[in-house]
Amino acid sequence: MIAAVSLILLGVYLACGFGFAIPFVLFGVKRIDPHAVHGSWGFRLLIIPGSAIFWPLLLSRWVKGIHEPPEECNAHRRSARTETSQPTTPTHPAP
């Protein structure tokens, strides 16, 4: 019983996702990612499965009108940000 309900819910989620993916690939991807404006039809076909899976996130970004992907925040970027904000001092004295 639990498996049947889970599969039905998964099917409904994916049906909503594919129902969202087609208009998103045709119209919405150009609005939330400026690099996708010149994307080919092959690119658009490739992003259909991903947009069907991540449709709640993409729908919220499309509705809010967010035009740039968010900047990734990981340890490397944080380290680079702190290194550029601190003045650099030479490690070896000049002869």
Residue 13 resides in a domain: no
Residue 87 resides in a domain: no
pLDDT digits (tens, 9 = 90+) for 57-84: 999 999 988 777 777 788 888 888 777 6
Report the domain count for the chain.
Answer: 1
Residue 63 resides in a domain: yes
Residue 88 resides in a domain: no
Residue 3 resides in a domain: no
Residue 18 resides in a domain: no
Determine the number of helices (DSSP H) and then strands (DSSP E) in the chain: 5, 0
Residue 54 resides in a domain: yes
For residues 19 and 11, is the Cβ–Cβ distance under 8 A? Answer: no
Domain that holds residue 51: 27-68
For residues 31 and 65, is the Cβ–Cβ distance under 8 A? Answer: yes
| Vertex 11 angle, CA 8 and 15, to 5° | 140
Predicted TM-score (pTM) above 0.75: no
For the chain, which residues score pLDDT lower than 50? none
Residue 53 resides in a domain: yes
Of 9, 73, 18, 28, nearest to 50 by C-alpha is 18
